[in-house]
A and B are shown apart, each in its own frame.
Chain A
Amino acid sequence: MNDSFVTNGWPMFSTYTDSINKMIPEAKAIYELREVGDTPIDIEAESVHPVCQHLKTQFGFHVLEVITGCDYPDRIEVSYILANFTDNQEVILKTKLSRENPVVDSVSDIWSSANFQERECFDMLGVHFNNHPDPRRILCPDDWEGFPLRKDYKTQERYRHMIVNPESKMNIEDREFANKQKALEAKQKALEKTKADAMAEPKKVAEIVEDKKDDQGEKS
């Protein structure tokens, strides 16, 4: 595999972070080189728009490839992956948003490809983008409830008049066959155990009767 891009110093992390921190100090751009996989540059959520504008004008990142989101227990992380086709460069920007109120500025006035990407991020994760020209769901129906890619998402019971997961299609009987079999076996085992205990019990009764006879014998 051709790894010359990594060994020749691509992408130029330190150049980007130094330039961002100089022009937009409140972005607090940092990066930590990772051994496995790609290294993102972390920036603050409020400065996403100025940072993207700076990267487009200064370093020529004229293509926005994808805006993704990922749900963690305490935050939602949104990644912006930018590309420069003339200089053959690529960079990943990451921001952290709170789960209760994930709001960030839209970059659809910088790149028009952000329009659909941000709509999908809203649809799947519930991230709100300020100043978006068309903020509505894109892949799910417009009146769907919930955000599917969140980790605590439960599908709704009914959508309009239809049942979302009908029981007749869930193959419940086939799945439960093994459990039913185990329950039957456990019952049988318990039954056999009580029978075995009952077999052992008459001996004990005979002992008590003998003891009583001895007592009576002693008394009389």
Chain B
Amino acid sequence: MSSQELTISGYFKNIYDGISSCLKGMFITIQYVFFKKHVTVQYPEEREELPERSRSRLFNDVQNCIACNQCAVACPVDCIYIASTRRAKDAPELKTATGTAIRLDLTQFVIDEALCCYCGLCTTVCPTECLTHTKDFEISMYAIEGMKYNYLDSEVKSWRTRLVKPEYL
């Protein structure tokens, strides 16, 4: 610790330094009162548009899903549960929007989005691009079971028109 003698001029210099440095700072902050634009987004009256690649709630288009199980294998937290049966030999041929033949019928496609870490690894390995991340971020629920999304449910399927790219509809 410095043990210099406090002279009279040192005493007044300390006062001058203290007041001048604080006034310099206040001069900068007062500009924000009068001159600078406000940057706060008044949510929920105003909402910002999220970028296209935003990774929020997942959506799987079960019409175009071939049940290849790649997303369940790639998931690091094992939150995707898939079950499927082989289509009967005499059933009509089905194809996805990208042209791949569908040989398996989905009987279960559930994603537990409370466990999901929103990393996007499942969407990168999907061969038909049916599993995508959407921009829906207002997904809070009252009960944690509500975070399990069953993509074979008719209400969830009806979101397709809003979320799927027009060329895959």
Check: B158 CB closer than 8 A to any chain A CB.
no
Tell me the residues in window 65-85 of chain B with beta carbons closer than 8 Å to chain A beta carbons: 81-83, 85
Contact indicator B112/A177 (Cβ below 8 Å): no
**Interface residue ranges of A71-127 to B (CB < 8 Å):** none
Taking the complex as formed, is A207 at the interface, i.e. its CB lies under 8 A from any CB of chain B? no
Within 8 A of B (CB), among A173-220: 174-175, 177-178, 181, 185
In this complex, the interface size class of chain B, counting residues with CB under 8 Å from chain A, is 10 to 19
A171 within 8 A of B: yes
B108 touches A185 (CB 8 A): no
List A29-79 residues whose CB lies under 8 Å from chain B. Answer: none
Given A171-B112, A174-B110, the answer on whether A181 and B81 have CB atoms closer than 8 Å is no
A177 touches B85 (CB 8 A): no
Among A171, A174, A175, A181, chain B packs the most CB atoms within 10 A around the CB of A174
* Shortest CB distance B147–A (Å): 11
A78 to B74 Cα, complex, angstroms: 33
**Residue of B whose beta carbon sits closest to that of A171:** B112
CB contacts under 8 Å to A, within B85-141, are 85, 107-108, 110, 112, 115
Q: Which residues of A contact B148 (CB under 8 A)?
A: 174
Q: Which residues of A contact B85 (CB under 8 A)?
A: 181, 185
Residues of B within 8 A of A175 (CB): 81
User: In the complex, A185 Cα to B81 Cα: how many Å?
Assistant: 19
A171 to B110 alpha-carbon distance, docked (Å): 11
Q: Once the chains bind, are A174 and B81 in contact (CB under 8 Å)?
A: yes
B82 touches A178 (CB 8 A): yes
The docked-state distance in angstroms from the alpha carbon of A185 to that of B112 is 26
Neighbouring B residues of A178 by C-beta, 8 Å: 81-83, 108
Q: In the docked arrangement, what's the CA distance between A181 and B108, Å? A: 10
Q: Which residues in B have some Cβ–Cβ distance to A below 8 Å?
A: 81-83, 85, 107-108, 110, 112, 115, 148
